[in-house]
Amino acid sequence: MLQIHISVFLVTCLDKLVDKWREGTLYDHIDQFANSLGYENAAVAISLAMIPWESVQDRNSFIQAITGDSPKGNDGRDYVSGMPRR
């Protein structure tokens, strides 16, 4: 019972910490890869998003290299940065 309470508390704390969309997170990577590679390649996009990219720039260079186009996704908005830009 105590373990359940602790788990709920930790999940709640985690939710508080990640309550904003951040650049360079797993979900941002998923957004970028899915919109750059196409929705029909969702599994590939999710797998590539799980790579521990060292920076947003690294990830974007990779997308540029394999698609021949600049990364899509994010709707071009300026959001909270979660990773260093290089």
State the residues that interact with other proteins by CB under 8 A.
18-21, 27, 30-31, 34-44, 46-47, 51, 53-54, 58, 61-62, 65-68, 72-75, 77, 79-80
Shortest CB 4 distance to other proteins, Å: 19
81 DSSP β-pair partners: 23
* 8-state DSSP, 81: E
Q: Which is nearer to other proteins, 6 or 54 (CB)?
A: 54
Find the radius of gyration of the CA atoms of the chain.
16
Report d(CA 29, CA 37) in Å as an integer: 12
Q: Which is nearer to other proteins, 6 or 80 (CB)?
A: 80
